[in-house]
Chain A
Amino acid sequence: MGFLSDGIIDALSLIINFDQMVLRAANTTIQVGVIATVVASLIGIPIGFFLAVFSFKGKKILVVLTQTLLGLPTVVIGLIVYGFLSRRGPLGFTDLLFTPTAIVIGLVILAIPIVVVFSYTTIKTVDLRVRETAFSLGSSELKAAWTVIREIRYEILAVILAAFSRVSSEIGIALMLGGNIKGFTRTLTTAIALESTKGEFAFGIALSIILLSIILIANLLSFIFRKL
């Protein structure tokens, strides 16, 4: 229990003193998290929309498969992407392994099923007459889709936030693809793992508190955004 209270004190002193290592790690976490969430949303929401609105052969299998991918362990994603980005792999020439970009690639793969599944279930709840009305008012296909999304924009925002929370709190991908390089690919989660290997549990707890605060701030921002 001692290290829990020590952790809270440590966290406060780290934040107050603007600890360089912590700031860099927090910055990297936010950067890769936001970019991965944005990319995954841009890919995932249209797919979710497509699955919810149109019916086609094999749709149910596709939905079940995507839902299964929600259970994909992050180390497995890390391993697969590592295989591609390794110098011996097909994308080795890009020299992306052990860079923030490599982490983003892994995180996008992690986030896409989350965005697809949850936007699919959310969009399904919208009364499809909204879309039909939009058509009857002369909207194009894209514009009608936008009308539907607008109808549930807050729920979609919640989906995006869920994806952000997931990607910023995972560790397997960040560790394998980033390599935990100090000041470059060290994220808050890989820093927590490193501190715990050093036996610095209180410091690890401190970093966890900072990580949770970032996710809390993201949620608060969306709350304010909703009120606007």
Chain B
Amino acid sequence: MLQIFVLFFVLIFAPLHSTEAKRLKFATTTSVANSGILSPLLFEFKKKHKTPVHAIITGTGKALEMGKHGDVDLILTHAPELEHIFIKKKYGINKKKIMFNYFLIAGPLSYKPFLKNENVLGVLEKIAKRKLKWISRGDNSGTHIKEMELWKIARLNPRGKWYLSSGLGMGRSLIMAEEKNAFILTDRGTYLSFLHRNKISLRIIFGQKDPNLLNEYSLIQINPKKHKYILHEEAVKFSDFLVSNAAQCIIKNFKVKQVALFNPASTCISK
């Protein structure tokens, strides 16, 4: 009886589980994935190319690590300094800027007039001085690295009970900031998607295009000389596609509730 039972399931499920075909793997960040921009881009790519593209969604730090080990063929990240080191160590090649936007600081609405400032560093200074609650990602993601840079430029050393390191992704950190009535550095896409779905009531405390808050996404191909299994040809195709006019226009025209989330790195010429 048991034998029949086992055989039955093996026969049913084994064929469904057969070999996996060649596929392009690319690791990207939660900020890109949660914004929803991936679907239209991958859909467009699929129209002309056969190779399936598998997106693995993780933090920038982990994406770089996966790339280092050759576990993915491409990475789309947003930490220029780490990317620079990555390429210098020859783990990656052909870095291409894909798109950009600006980080913003979100927090409880009631503090907005008090924290009004022309400069993001001034806002941070006031928060640190008053020891207002702050949620840090603390997970080595692009956003976390940016935050560390900002504190450094502002010559502040955030420590104490007011400074909480969540170790969570952007979305969950935003919810934590909401629950704790705290301030947080966030990318625009995730913030707006949470605001529009009524998951948070935090407001933009500082949302100007301060050069210190520039958030640049770049695509890097993993060096095929380091790992023989890298699908280099397909990676080149995908990389060329993302900087193509078609993809750049998709990025330009991608809107959530009439608000554009990303600016294309090169210009989109509409036909």
Contact = CB atoms under 8 A, between A and B. Distances in A.
Interface of A: 31, 34-35, 38, 41-42, 86-88, 92-93, 95, 97-101, 149, 153, 156-157, 179-182, 184, 194, 196-200, 225
A159 B236 CA distance: 50
B88 interface: no
Contacts of A156: 2
A88 B69 contact: yes
28 contacts: A31-B16, A31-B17, A38-B9, A88-B69, A88-B70, A88-B227, A93-B229, A95-B229, A98-B54, A98-B56, A98-B71, A99-B20, A100-B17, A100-B20, A101-B20, A149-B2, A157-B2, A179-B25, A179-B56, A184-B54, A196-B172, A197-B30, A197-B34, A197-B172, A198-B193, A199-B171, A199-B172, A199-B197
Q: Which range contains the number of B residues in contact with the other chain?
A: 20 to 34
Interface in B152-200: 168-169, 171-172, 174-175, 193-194, 197, 199-200
Interface of B: 1-2, 5-6, 9-10, 13-14, 16-17, 20, 25, 30, 34, 54-57, 69-71, 168-169, 171-172, 174-175, 193-194, 197, 199-200, 227, 229
Contacts of B174: 199
B144 to A, nearest CB: 15
Contacts of A198: 34, 171, 193
Contacts of B169: 197
B229 A87 contact: yes
A101 B18 CA distance: 9
A88 B68 CA distance: 9
Given A86-B69, A101-B20, A179-B56, A153 B171 contact: no
Contacts of B55: 181-182
The 10 closest A-B pairs by CB, nearest first: A87-B70, A199-B199, A179-B56, A197-B171, A181-B54, A88-B69, A86-B69, A197-B169, A99-B20, A87-B227
A122 to B, nearest CB: 14
Given A101-B17, A180-B56, A38 B69 contact: no
A88 B226 CA distance: 10
Contacts of A35: 10, 13-14, 17
Given A87-B227, A101-B20, A199-B174, 8 more contacts: A34-B9, A87-B70, A92-B229, A93-B229, A98-B54, A157-B2, A179-B25, A180-B57
A179 B54 contact: yes
Contacts of A98: 25, 54, 56, 71
Contacts of A157: 2
A199 B227 contact: no
